[in-house]
Structure 1
Amino acid sequence: MWLAILAVVVGLAILVWSADVFIDGAVALANKLNVPSFLIGVIILGLGTSAPEMIVSMLAALEGSPELALGNAYGSNIVNIALVLGATVLISPIIIRKSIINRDMPLLLLVTAVAAWQLSDGVLSNTDGIVLIVLLVVVLGIQIILSLREGNHEHEGDTVEETAKAEHSMAQGLGRLFLGLLVLILSSRAIVWGAIELATLWGLSELIIGLTIVAIGTSLPELVASLSAARKGEHDMALGNIIGSNVFNTLGVVGVAALIAPITPSSIILSRDILAMGLLTLLLFAMCLFAFKTKRAFGRTSGTTLVLFFVGYTVWLIQTVSM
């Protein structure tokens, strides 16, 4: 038990340090390649910080625990929007760009709708997994092409930190990026291991462990990466991280798990967790649209609403388990 507690505490400390290294490397790479921060957020941060979800879900599928894989992916999506993005904009509001409304949020809504549709027949087959992986390639391709066409619109102010970032060489940027990501994943894994050990001692079910402890634990890279990006003024990168991560979780993580072994989820996943994920995605789109139309920052009011949604979902989760 004490070893599990130590893994959680030490893992958290290392996680915070590695997030700063990771973001510095990502920003340096964006500057050097002259690509939008949002695109770096979607592709490198989004996919990179979803690596823990992918690893956990693959292991769960291989070990015959499909509900843990689904709970991890969908629970992480809920945590990413409600807790990670909510906490991020509480600290540093985000300006919503037109492309978020016209392209990125509609794509996320489409991906969420596909996930709900595939689960409606009560099984995720190998064919469903192939469809998800193909859709992931298509969605990422669309985001890459359109983002590159828009050019680099970030960098709101010239600070000492931004000047220093421009001086990084390509090798330094890549080195910090991969070092930060590696330590992020390893420290997250230590935290998740410790949390699962503690949860098992407390007698929690596999699905609940996946939706709560594993979901939050594997979302820690997104949380610290987004907070670090927002603190450094890279708001597009913070939002791109969340959108990219959720797309990858829904399509890539679940797709690979279904390819390994067909999944027959319990009905509660569709009636509670997919419903919560869908409502939350719609809420996020509505708040982004409102912020864009009124020319206001996506800030503390929206952040508070998202965090309250997470609290409400967690209470709902606990109540359904105890029934």
Structure 2
Amino acid sequence: MTVILFLVGVVLLVFGADLLVRGAASLAASMGVSSLIIGLTVVAVGTSSPEIAVSLQAAFQGQGAITLGNIVGSNIANVMLILGVAAMFGPLPVDRQIFRRDLPVMIGASLLTLLLAFDRELSRVDGVIMLLGLLGYIWAIWPREETQQTSVSHHHHQQHWRGVVLQLAMVVGGLALLVLGANWLVDGAVAFASWFGVSELIIGLTIVAVGTSLPEIATSVIAGLRGERDIAVGNVIGSNILNLLLVLALTIVLSPQPIAVPVETVQLDLPVMVGAALVCLPIFFTRRMVSQREGSLLLVYYLSYTLYLILSASQNDELPLYNTVVGLVLVPLTVVLLVVRALRWLGEERRLRQMTDVAE
């Protein structure tokens, strides 16, 4: 039964992601907005629905700290794991609007969360500040330039309301299959791990942690394979922004008491989340894409972070040696790779300008 549950979860996950991406792309075309906007909003909210449900439930039960750990971990996985896996299936072009508008908002939201958590608690005032930031972001992404086009074709859209309803049904149905498939897949994986004698700690830090990000992973990979790469990247960036400025902010406001922030979260997890957001800056800037090499680098970072959590939680004696290796090898290697990438990009830009001057 466990094997069947696992296999059915995989099938539902893939089918649900494909249905969601096709429905979202068609809905964007019908509404006269770009697939990037749909990825940043509808798809991002949909794939974050498990985090939203868990967070609001925790808030009403007075367990807001669960929400903080869930959201911070999801944001780290979104950048390092999901972008890394999606880039393995092909380079991910980055829309200019993402680099100019959405990426700075994600970085700003991450820094704001870290700053607000420095006093070791998140109060309702902090939540209101974050919600105001969300309102500013919504105002910034509102498709003003497309309003005229949408109004001109309003009659045409009215004639195709059945198509719009069908597309909405595809989006909702895809999201439902994603959540159901992810739950079944995680349940099956946990049962497999238990059979092989893997501890509950390792299961929680690995299988369950990755399982909560399965909707985003499946959606981004399928979107990339179907050529809807704006949805793939927009889903990650939009999910991270909404996780902080919507889900966490609402949880803080609705929580009966301020949310206590563990010292480990301030010292490790939140800085890692900010670092994951910042590392997107040089990657997105050069060539406006996430290459397979950079995707593999993000995956290495996520595996390193997960391994650190496992070693730290089990109080392994090899932890100091591991920290030394990461500090002396992984970090310098990352700097070298990013510098080489930037130099190559500058060289290509210079050659392109020279060719343009010669042609003129």
**TM-score, normalized by length of structure 1?**
0.83
The separation in 2 between residues aligned to 1:64 and 1:214, in whole angstroms, is 22
The whole-number CA distance in structure 1 between the counterparts of 2:237 and 2:54 is 20
Partner of 2:57: 59
1:321–1:6 Cα change, 3 Å: farther
Q: Is the 8 A contact 1:185 1:221 kept in 2?
A: yes
- Indicate which of 289, 292, 300 corresponds to 2:285: 289
- 1:234 Cα deviation (Å)? 0.6
Structure 2: segments with no counterpart, 5+ residues: 150-159, 316-360
Is 1:319 the counterpart of 2:311? The answer is yes
Distance across 1 between alignment mates of 2:312 and 2:6: 27
Counterpart in 2 of 1:219? 213
Q: Residue 134 and residue 30 in structure 1: after superposition, are their counterparts in 2 closer, same or farther (change >3 A)?
A: same
Distance 1:267 1:42, change over 3 A: same
- Equivalent of 2:171 in 173, 177, 197: 177
Q: Distance in 2 between matches of 1:251 and 1:185?
A: 22
Are the equivalent residues in 1 in contact too, given 2:114–2:266 (CA < 8 A)?
Answer: yes
Question: Aligned equivalents of 2:182 and 2:264: distance in 1?
Answer: 28
Q: Answer yes or no: is the 8 Å Cα contact 1:27–1:37 preserved in 2.
A: yes
**Take 1:173 and 1:306, find their aligned partners in 2: how far apart are those partners?**
34
CA distance in 2, matches of 1:9, 1:67: 33
Q: Which moved more, 1:61-70 or 1:274-283?
A: 61-70
* Superposition deviation, residue 212 in structure 1: 4.8
Matching residue of 1:263:
259
| Shift in Å, 1:72 | 1.1
Residue aligning to 1:69: 67
Deviation at 1:240, TM superposition (A): 0.5
Counterpart of 2:136 (choices 138, 151, 162) is: 138
Distance 1:134 1:103, change over 3 A: same
Whether the aligned pair in 2 keeps the contact of 1:73 and 1:215 (CA below 8 Å) is no
Partner amino acid for 1:282? L
1:134-186 deviation per Cα after TM superposition (whole angstroms, max 9, x unaligned): 3223212312347858x9xxxxxxxxxxxxxx9x9222211111111122223
Q: Which segments of 5 or more consecutive residues in structure 1 lack a partner in the other structure?
A: 152-165
Range 106-115 or range 89-98, more displaced: 89-98
Per-residue deviation at 1:203? Answer: 4.1
Query: Which residue does the alignment assign to 2:244?
Result: 250
Rg bigger for which structure? 2
Equivalent position of 2:86 in the other structure: 88
> What is the TM-score with the length of structure 2 in the denominator?
0.75
**Corresponding residue for residue 47 of structure 2:** 49
One-letter amino acid of the structure 1 residue matched with residue 263 of structure 2: S
Q: How much does 1:290 deviate?
A: 1.9
Distance 1:213 1:127 in 2: 35
Q: Distance in 2 between matches of 1:39 and 1:147?
A: 13
Does structure 1 retain, via aligned residues, the 8 Å contact 2:123–2:253?
yes
Partner of 1:105: 103
What is the RMSD of the two structures over their aligned residues, measured on CA atoms?
Answer: 2.8
**C-alpha distance 112-87 of structure 1, shift in aligned 2 (>3 A):** same
Distance 1:195 1:265, change over 3 A: farther
Q: Secondary structure at the match of 1:291?
A: coil
CA change 1:61–1:9 in 2 (3 A) is farther
Q: Which moved more, 1:297-306 or 1:223-232?
A: 297-306
Q: Kindly state the Cα deviation for residue 219 of structure 1 after the two structures are TM-superposed.
A: 1.3
Q: Percent identity?
A: 32
Check whether the contact 1:75–1:212 (CA below 8 A) recurs between aligned residues.
Answer: no
The 2-side partners of 1:41 and 1:231 are apart by 15
CA contact (8 A) 2:102 2:237 kept: yes
Give, as a single letter, the amino acid of the residue that structure 1 aligns with 2:293.
T
